[in-house]
Chains A and B, each alone.
Chain A
Amino acid sequence: MVILNAIELLPQSGAKLAVSLRLSPCHQMFGERLEARPEGIVNGSWKSWIIAATAVLMLVGIFVAVFNLPIVTGDAPQ
């Protein structure tokens, strides 16, 4: 059973509201964790290179996909 300690309404600036569901300490959600390090991933770090590489892979994948389309190759898919 997931233990729910409290549900809090956190007023934000302007008209925005955020509802935070606070769980047992081992399950902090995305926003709470990132508030602790709002800088995100440092540019030039290994994480940034991996994300960039993944994005490049997507672009290469789209390029290669066009060449491998069955309508282009004429191959009947297995």
Chain B
Amino acid sequence: MSVPSRASFAPAPLNISWLFRPTKTEVDVAARPSDGLVVFSVMWGVAMMLSAASHMHLLGGHSGMLLATVTWSALIAAGLLLMSPRKTTLLALVAALMIVQYALRMPASSNNQTIALFMNIGLLTALGSQALRNRSSGGRRDAVYEQVRVIARALLATMYFYGVFHKINTGFLDPTTSCATALYEPLTRPFGLDETLIGLYGAIVATFVVETIAIVCLYWRRFFWVGLLVSLPFHYVIPISGFSWYMDFSSLVFALYMLSVPREVASGLYSSGMALVHRAPKLRAGISAGLALGAALTVAASIVIALSNFFPGRGEQQLWHSVWLLFWAVFGGTAMVLIVRAALLEQPYDEETSRISQPWWIYAIPTALFVSCMSPYVGLKTESSIAMFSNLHTEGGATNHLLFSKPPYLFDYQARAVRVLDSSSPAIRELAKDGTYGLVEHDVAIRLSHNPKLWITYEMNGRRYDRVTAATFSGRRPNWVERKLLDFKPIDWARPKVCTH
């Protein structure tokens, strides 16, 4: 029997008491279990839209028309998914386009986009496997929902685990260099609290506490709401620092939480969303969402354009970032309030009395991410390992991590680390002038191969190499697989290690 796609509900009055008391409309909206997938699709649409929008140079065609086409297609498809979150084909299309975009850009440095890749692979695999089983569409969505819930929660747990583990180093624990304080200062500057010692140390401690609580509560059903209350505000405020494009990361976390929450919480969010949509009974749900999205972006752009009159000479990237940051401040805040509301309305949660057995590949996907993120310690890639803004250093056979006296390399990519002394590139020369700028030899080879006229003077293992070009480079030249899978951060030889990506 199919569930009606829409019922005629009388809209409830909109007042502040709605925050604390569900309306009759919400109670009357009956949700299938897989309507949690509808809620997830809305947030995933926003996350993928923000991810695509973060690549301004790709959208502008600076990396070729193929990537521009795929990125624009992903952006549009994500917007359509936001408007029609029930459409399974749209969800599959967004996942596929984002996977293709990632593959074309490999090696991709972004950690959250790597996490999204694994989630998109899980989505496509679950959707595909259920499509092959020839179930009814409702049955398929129920089964997909149960499968991707497992993947999403494990990906979140992996993210929080490394969010703590990678930061156990001397650089992160030092308030003069910690990335925690780099984010704390812009958030508290409007209140004059940016230079308080308690605040600076508090930001460092809070990072560990928040992420530890988050990972524990992910799997402790009774206190899941505690982890939610701690994590959502944390992830909401990070992009507001303006320090970097964090909106896609935060919305990704929100989306993964939509699949990780108890089913009754997800159904509550669905009911709340439907109740809000039914306030405009003359509009179809998709059009309402589209209008809301368009209105939000238009208002944000208008504000930014108005501000540009007071702050002339700003670049396109700053304008673009500002529009989407404002969008996140409103959308992310609204989502946070609604999620917290649903979580508390439904608390205490029922205990799980039965577990649904899942195929082995469900667990293989997050396990692959977990293993991949060990890369910095075994001598492989230092980018795309959930080590962002961790102050972690593992290059050159030494590490500032407190649990290792030296990194347990299985591969020697990071052992072959150079100190850059000079270059024909003005940008590299500027970075190298104080003698603390370095690269792994793999990275030197890549950079030289991209520009035959470029030369770099560097020192490696006590030996100096003067004006090395692609033609005269005598080191190991990476093969295709190494070029695609390995990406390394530039090395900062300064101690303590300051906050970089």
Using known A-B contacts A55-B19, A58-B336, determine if residue A24 contacts B318 with beta carbons closer than 8 Å: no
B315 touches A76 (CB 8 A): yes
B4 touches A38 (CB 8 A): no
B22 interface contact, C-beta 8 A: yes
CB-defined contacts of A48 to chain B, threshold 8 Å = 19-20
A65 touches B4 (CB 8 A): no
B333 interface contact, C-beta 8 A: yes
The CA-CA distance from A32 to B322 in the complex, in Å, is 43
A34 touches B27 (CB 8 A): yes
The CA-CA distance from A23 to B354 in the complex, in Å, is 12
Using known A-B contacts A2-B356, A30-B271, A51-B340, determine if residue A68 contacts B22 with beta carbons closer than 8 Å: no
Stretch at the interface among B68-76, B118-126, B260-268, B397-405: B260-268
- B236-272 vs A, CB cutoff 8 Å, 1 = contact: the mask equals 1100111111000000000000000001100110110
Using known A-B contacts A7-B1, A19-B3, determine if residue A27 contacts B350 with beta carbons closer than 8 Å: yes
CB-defined contacts of A63 to chain B, threshold 8 Å = 190
Using known A-B contacts A48-B20, A57-B233, determine if residue A24 contacts B354 with beta carbons closer than 8 Å: yes
**B251 CB to closest chain A CB, in angstroms?**
14
**B333 CB to closest chain A CB, in angstroms?**
3
A26 touches B351 (CB 8 A): yes
Using known A-B contacts A30-B346, A41-B21, determine if residue A51 contacts B241 with beta carbons closer than 8 Å: no
- Return the chain B residue nearest A24 by Cβ: B354
Looking at the complex, which one of B267, B304, B308, B315 makes contact with A29 (CB distance below 8 Å)? Answer: B267
The CA-CA distance from A29 to B36 in the complex, in Å, is 11
Using known A-B contacts A18-B29, A68-B242, determine if residue A77 contacts B314 with beta carbons closer than 8 Å: no
A51 touches B337 (CB 8 A): yes
Looking at the complex, which one of B9, B271, B311 makes contact with A74 (CB distance below 8 Å)? Answer: B311
B307 touches A16 (CB 8 A): no
CB-defined contacts of A7 to chain B, threshold 8 Å = 1
A5 interface contact, C-beta 8 A: no
B484 interface contact, C-beta 8 A: no
B55 interface contact, C-beta 8 A: no
- B1-45 vs A, CB cutoff 8 Å, 1 = contact: the mask equals 101100111100000010111100011111111000000000000
Using known A-B contacts A12-B28, A69-B304, determine if residue A34 contacts B22 with beta carbons closer than 8 Å: yes
Looking at the complex, which one of A41, A43, A61 makes contact with B240 (CB distance below 8 Å)? Answer: A61
Using known A-B contacts A17-B4, A50-B340, A71-B307, determine if residue A61 contacts B30 with beta carbons closer than 8 Å: no
CB-defined contacts of B346 to chain A, threshold 8 Å = 30, 33
B353 interface contact, C-beta 8 A: yes
The CA-CA distance from A33 to B353 in the complex, in Å, is 17
A30 touches B267 (CB 8 A): yes
**A50 CB to closest chain B CB, in angstroms?**
6
CB-defined contacts of A67 to chain B, threshold 8 Å = 189-190
The CA-CA distance from A76 to B341 in the complex, in Å, is 36
Looking at the complex, which one of B229, B242, B336, B344 makes contact with A69 (CB distance below 8 Å)? Answer: B242
CB-defined contacts of B333 to chain A, threshold 8 Å = 57-59, 61-62
The CA-CA distance from A65 to B323 in the complex, in Å, is 11
B8 touches A15 (CB 8 A): yes
Using known A-B contacts A27-B33, A64-B240, A77-B317, determine if residue A34 contacts B340 with beta carbons closer than 8 Å: no
A68 touches B345 (CB 8 A): no
A contacts, CB < 8 Å to B: 1-2, 7, 12, 15-21, 23-31, 33-35, 38-43, 47-48, 50-52, 54-55, 57-59, 61-78
Name 29 interchain pairs, CB-CB below 8 A, sorted by A. A15-B8, A17-B4, A18-B28, A19-B3, A21-B3, A21-B32, A26-B354, A28-B264, A30-B271, A31-B26, A34-B26, A35-B27, A41-B345, A47-B20, A48-B20, A54-B336, A55-B337, A57-B237, A58-B236, A61-B237, A62-B326, A62-B330, A66-B303, A67-B189, A70-B242, A70-B319, A75-B242, A75-B318, A78-B244
- A30-B26, A34-B27, A41-B344 given. 11 additional CB < 8 A pairs? A16-B8, A21-B30, A30-B27, A31-B28, A42-B20, A51-B337, A64-B187, A65-B326, A69-B322, A72-B322, A73-B242
Q: Ordered nearest first, which 10 A-B pairs have the shortest CB separation?
A: A58-B333, A40-B21, A68-B242, A70-B318, A65-B329, A30-B268, A69-B322, A78-B244, A30-B267, A71-B322
